[in-house]
Amino acid sequence: MYNETKMLAYSQWHDLLTNTTTFSEPEDRYDELLRLADDYRSRGIIDTPERNTLIEIATAAYTRSVTAATAHSSHSGTNL
């Protein structure tokens, strides 16, 4: 099941997920993660359930990034 191509694809995808310096905006990183998941699926590297799992993970990471940025910006103007 797990061949070298799949392992390299997952590694590349994970590196992008965890490296916040590659893209300065969470939206850009999210778009690229989705693009990669679709690309891996279209090339037959992963199947549809695996693609869906990657999208769920990317969506959760994006939500955390946006929520953290929103919380940070709402508190940056207050004197606590």
The reply to whether 5 falls in a domain is no
Would you list the DSSP string of 20-73?
TTS-SSHHHHHHHHHHHHHHHHHTTSS-HHHHHHHHHHHHHHHHHHHHHHHHHH
- Number of structural domains (the chain) is 1
Question: Could you list the residue range(s) of the whole structural domain that residue 54 is in?
Answer: 25-66
Residue 43 domain-assigned (yes or no): yes
The better pLDDT of the pair 47, 77 is held by 47
- Is residue 78 in some structural domain? no
The reply to whether 73 falls in a domain is no
User: Residue 71: inside a domain, yes or no?
Assistant: no
Mean pLDDT of 23-48: 95
42 part of a folded domain: yes
Residue 47 lies in a domain: yes
Supply the pTM of this predicted model: 0.82
Q: Is there a domain that residue 32 lies in?
A: yes
